Amino acid sequence: MLLLSAWSLCKGQTQKGKASFYADKFQGRQTASGETYRHNKLTAAHKTLPFGTRVRVINVANQKRVEVVINDRGPYAEGRIIDLSLSAAEALGFVQQGLADVTLEVLDAGDGKSSTSAPIPETPPDEKEFYDLAATRFKPGGFGVQIGTYQELVNLLRVADNLKSSYKKKVVVQVKTLSGVKYYALILGGFSSRAKAEKFMTSVKRKYPDAFIAEFDRMR
């Protein structure tokens, strides 16, 4: 495996690691290159690749692939090698999971001239994520829309944070144990009727195509 380097870059170089994607709160913010981040653009952040570099990203799990242009710096969380726009993450099919194992391949080396600031960091800073939790155990009623099921807490928290910001709905987590392994179902609710839940589900199906109606009374 060849490691990508900002100083010795050529077509065909590859890198393997984990990909994440931008939270909704970054929509409209300025990237390190000076461009504005847009969810619908196929762009990405990388620690060292010059701005303008075109990269093919392949999801190892499903072999889906997408081409993106580097216009930002990051991610700096341990083990992550690229932070993708939401539309790129959708193309790779890992929005519900939060993270994906990917392979990067350089298609066209950028010249870095679009940079307005952001020198390339020699040692990436340690990125820490903090979440404000107010968890209460309760017995929900009515209906909800289940977005996905997760095993890793960090993935659950990242997606829940995005959902709260985007849809302004109550987020409910159902803890399930299957064969001794705990899983966490992320549900948006509660709706007083199935019709209201179905109407809301229609609005989230584009981002979360596997979403379905959850009737809380039957889940107890």
Q: Are 16 and 61 spatial neighbours (Cβ–Cβ below 8 Å)?
A: no
* DSSP three-state, residue 195: helix
Domains annotated for the chain, with CATH where assigned, are 14-108 (2.40.40.10), 143-218 (3.30.70.1070)
Q: Categorize the per-residue pLDDT at 126 as very low, low, confident or very high, splitting at 50, 70 and 90.
A: very low
Dist. CA 175–CA 137, nearest whole Å: 11
Inform me whether the pLDDT recorded for 6 exceeds 70. Answer: no
CB atoms within 10 A of CB 61: 13
- CB neighbour list of residue 10: distance below 8 Å, 6 or more residues apart: 106, 109
CB atoms within 10 A of CB 51: 23
| pLDDT top residue among 112 and 205 | 205
Percent with pLDDT over 90 in the chain: 32
Question: Is the whole-model pTM more than 0.95?
Answer: no
pLDDT tens, residue by residue, 12-60: 688 999 999 998 788 888 998 889 999 999 999 998 888 899 999 999 9
Q: Are 213 and 197 spatial neighbours (Cβ–Cβ below 8 Å)?
A: yes
- CB neighbour list of residue 176: distance below 8 Å, 6 or more residues apart: 149, 182, 183, 184, 185
State residue 3's pLDDT score. Answer: 40
Average pLDDT in the chain? 80
Percent with pLDDT over 70 in the chain: 85
